[in-house]
């Protein structure tokens, strides 16, 4: 039998620096609207949602709920009853974690992923949620929760995000050193995999800690990017050297050169091409037939889907997890060969595309 609390309510009383937090927009939707959808998803009872709010704010909250398609809303003054599962408007919840928690009788607080009860958190909530949705397609299942807990523990300490950035880079360089030294056997592979895994957690936690402490800076972002690229090149150079020592074939050294050159050209042509991309607008001639326009639209959609798949293959999070997997099986050289070709193709393809469009 499920032990989920049967009385799910919304507490809309919290206020922030700009007033009612329920009315704050998060990625284009009010916090109140998001919580109403969340209660619909969790309760599925068809009953009106009970909302606790100050009497003078019932009218405004009612206006925010006018677009609601689900059951109605009942406003009550005062505090929720003690046995209620309370969703607060100064919290952002992970819906899957909340569902699991309610199923076993846990407090909704265990599913909180962001709090809105301080000005800096309110200012960066859009950035945080966007990052959670796009930054780590695989790491969000394990690395991000660990990084989130670490950042929460370090929030009130004197440790700053740059220390975590340096720690992540140090672990990556340690992994590269172990690979170059020829660490073999299960113990060596586990050590490399562990260094890469811990580096991913720290690399994730530095940005989270910066937002929690309000210590984000241009220098911190620069340091993170520079050390990421340094660690990336050091790792692949170590892989190439270890493979050369193992096989004696210079092809591995050539692949390392190709990887470094292709990655550099890819970054340069991508960054310098932003000005072209921003100033370019596709022109459709008036004489173009509707059928031709439809076919071109379908072709463009297919091309965009293919491009998205290609870009996803180079996603830093996916590559990081591939490193960990290949390190555990002792075949990081496969990753070097694959991504040397990948970045060479991306650099060449980007250059050709821009040349055709803007020449």
C-alpha span between 184 and 327 (Å, rounded): 10
Tokens 């929760």 correspond to: 145
Tell me the angle at which helices 332-358 and 251-272 cross, rounded to the nearest 10 degrees.
40
Tokens 């301080």 correspond to: 118
Cα angle 321, 323, 326; round to 5? 110
C-alpha span between 344 and 255 (Å, rounded): 11
| Range scoring the smallest mean pLDDT among 33-37, 108-112, 139-143, 212-216 | 212-216
Of the two residues 28 and 237, the one the predictor is more confident about is 237
What letter does residue 118 receive in the DSSP assignment? Answer: S
Q: What is the pTM of this model?
A: 0.68
| CATH superfamily of domain region 138-278+291-358 | CDP-alcohol phosphotransferase transmembrane (TM) domain (1.20.120.1760)
Q: Which pairing describes strands 19-20 and 15-16: parallel, antiparallel, or unpaired?
A: antiparallel
**340: β partners:** none
Give the model's confidence band at 280: pLDDT under 50 very low, under 70 low, under 90 confident, else very high. Answer: very low
C-alpha span between 213 and 220 (Å, rounded): 13
- Distance from the first to the final alpha carbon of the chain: 68
**pLDDT of the residue at 132:** 67
The predicted-structure confidence for 16-74, as pLDDT tens digits, reads as follows: 888 899 999 888 889 999 999 888 888 766 678 899 999 999 999 988 887 665 567 89
C-alpha span between 86 and 88 (Å, rounded): 6
**Which residues in the chain are classed under CATH 1.20.120.1760?**
138-278+291-358
Q: Quick one: which of 1, 2, 87 has its CA closest to 41?
A: 87
Task: Name 60's Cβ contacts closer than 8 Å, sequence gap at least 6.
Answer: 20, 23
Query: How far does CA 144 lie from the centroid of its chain?
Result: 8
Give percent of the chain with pLDDT exceeding 70.
84
Rounded to the nearest 5 percent, the helix, strand and coil shares of the chain are 65, 10, 25
Tell me the DSSP string of 17-75: TTEEGGG-EETTEEHHHHHHHHHHHHH-S-PPEEEE--GGGHHHHHHHTTT--SS-EEE
What letter does residue 157 receive in the DSSP assignment? Answer: S
**pLDDT of the residue at 105:** 85
Tokens 């709920």 correspond to: 65
Q: Which pairing describes strands 49-52 and 73-76: parallel, antiparallel, or unpaired?
A: parallel
The sign of the dihedral angle between the CA atoms of 17, 23, 26, 27 is negative
């Amino acid at each position: 039998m499920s032990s989920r609390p049967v009385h799910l309510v919304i507490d809309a009383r919290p206020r922030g620096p700009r007033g009612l937090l329920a009315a704050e927009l998060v990625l284009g939707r009010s916090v109140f609207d998001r919580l109403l959808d969340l209660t619909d998803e969790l309760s599925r009872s068809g009953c009106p949602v009970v909302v606790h709010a100050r009497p003078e704010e019932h009218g405004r909250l009612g206006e925010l709920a006018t677009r609601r398609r689900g059951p109605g809303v009942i406003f009550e003054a005062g505090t929720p009853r003690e046995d209620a599962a309370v969703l607060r408007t100064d919290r952002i919840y992970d819906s899957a974690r909340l569902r699991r928690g309610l199923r076993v009788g846990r407090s909704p607080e265990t599913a909180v992923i962001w709090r809105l009860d301080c000005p800096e958190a309110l200012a960066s909530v859009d950035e945080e949620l966007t990052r959670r949705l796009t930054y780590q397609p695989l790491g969000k299942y394990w690395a991000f929760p660990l990084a989130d807990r670490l950042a929460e523990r370090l929030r009130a300490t004197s440790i700053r995000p740059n220390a975590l950035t340096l720690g992540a880079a140090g672990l990556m360089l340690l992994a590269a050193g172990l690979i170059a030294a020829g660490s073999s056997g299960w113990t060596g592979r586990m050590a490399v995999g562990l260094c890469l895994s811990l580096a991913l957690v720290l690399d994730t936690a530095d940005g989270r800690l910066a937002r929690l402490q309000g210590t984000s800076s241009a220098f911190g972002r620069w340091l993170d990017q520079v050390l990421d690229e340094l660690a990336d090149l050091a790792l692949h150079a170590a892989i190439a050297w270890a493979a050369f020592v193992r096989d004696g074939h210079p092809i591995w050294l050539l692949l390392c050169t190709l990887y470094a050159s292709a990655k550099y050209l890819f970054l340069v042509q991508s960054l310098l091409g932003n000005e072209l991309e921003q100033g370019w607008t596709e022109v459709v001639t008036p004489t173009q037939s509707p059928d031709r326009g439809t076919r071109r639209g379908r072709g463009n959609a297919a091309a965009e889907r293919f491009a998205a798949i290609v870009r996803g293959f180079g996603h830093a999070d996916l590559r990081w997890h591939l490193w960990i997997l290949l390190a555990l099986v002792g075949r990081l050289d496969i990753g070097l060969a694959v991504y040397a070709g990948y970045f060479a193709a991306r650099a060449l393809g980007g250059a050709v595309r821009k040349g055709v469009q803007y020449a």
